[in-house]
Amino acid sequence: MNSIIKVFKSVFFIASILCTPFLLSIEHKVLVNFFESEDLQTPLETTITLEHATTDEELTWGLMQRTYLHKDQGMTFNFPEKEYRYFWMFNCFIDLSLAYVDDDGFIIEIHQLRSFPEVMDPERPIEEVEDLALYKPHDPILKFFSRHGITSSEPVRYALETNKGWFKRHKVKVGDAFIWSSNKPWGYIRHAINVSAIRVHRRNPSVIVFQEQKKYLFKQHWNSPEKEILFLDSEGTILRNSKLSRESNPISSHPSTKYALFTTTKWLLKKGITVGDKISFLNNK
């Protein structure tokens, strides 16, 4: 009886192997329109030297009393709670630019902050946090600066202050991602690549070729047609696919992206292309 059971188990095991489908990636040859990342006229990343305000005293003091900031220097504000935030220029001596940043690191607002050092009372200098008590709540000087402050349009935990015009000078815009860590003296802006100008063809998709294999950020104008994006590695293997719609926020690619292919959902269904497949590109010239 035992020998019969052993034979049955062996037959069942062999049958299960023969009946199990092999998950093989399929290679597709696709005629595409090529774009080099340099042709997009968009900086991909901008580095900035950082100081970090994390304690109550640091968050209160910020960049007060500064008379100079290096051209590529800034300060992050890391608040413990997500609230409507208010920044003013009381006791500040240089003009600044301010970005409010959401929990995902996306810049949601950019503002200009003008300093008014001439409005401060020279008889009551503010040289440390304790000196703030020299100005009472109804002081005309406090009221002046309160009128010139900027409140965030939604609750946030993070903000970034820089030299005046830094965001504009480096083409940083709402929707770009700010990547930083409060224990590192630097961070960087990951610029969202505007792909509105890339046309989606039903027959011939468009492909962006990047110099480096890494994570990238994509966005488009609200009135641009919906796009399906495939993110591929240097071997042409599809790592992920995402949909960039008219209402969507910027989307991040896979960390190992070398190519980004733009097409339509119908094209993918028609070709039967899925994540894990490989694509060989043929230049459409």
Mean pLDDT of the chain: 88
Please check the confidence at residue 263 and state whether its pLDDT lies above 80. yes
pTM of the complete model beyond 0.85? no
45-190: same fold as 24-42+193-283?
yes
Please check the confidence at residue 11 and state whether its pLDDT lies above 60. no
Pick the CATH number of 45-190 from 3.30.160.270, 2.60.120.1140, 2.30.110.10, 2.60.40.10: 2.60.120.1140
Q: What is the signed CA dihedral for 82, 84, 88, 92, rounded to 10 degrees?
A: 10
**pLDDT tens-digit series, residues 265-281:** 888 888 889 999 999 99
Q: What are phi and psi of 48, to 5 degrees?
A: -140, 140
Q: Where are the beta strands (DSSP E) in 195-253?
A: 206-214, 217-219, 227-232, 238-244, 251-252
To which CATH superfamily is domain 24-42+193-283 assigned?
A: Protein of unknown function DUF192 (2.60.120.1140)
- More confident site: 8 or 167: 167
**pLDDT tens-digit series, residues 194-244:** 888 887 776 789 999 999 999 999 988 878 888 999 999 999 999 999 998
Please check the confidence at residue 88 and state whether its pLDDT lies above 60. yes
**pLDDT tens-digit series, residues 134-150:** 999 999 999 999 999 99
Please check the confidence at residue 9 and state whether its pLDDT lies above 90. no
Instruction: Decide if 70 contacts 186 (C-beta within 8 A).
Output: no
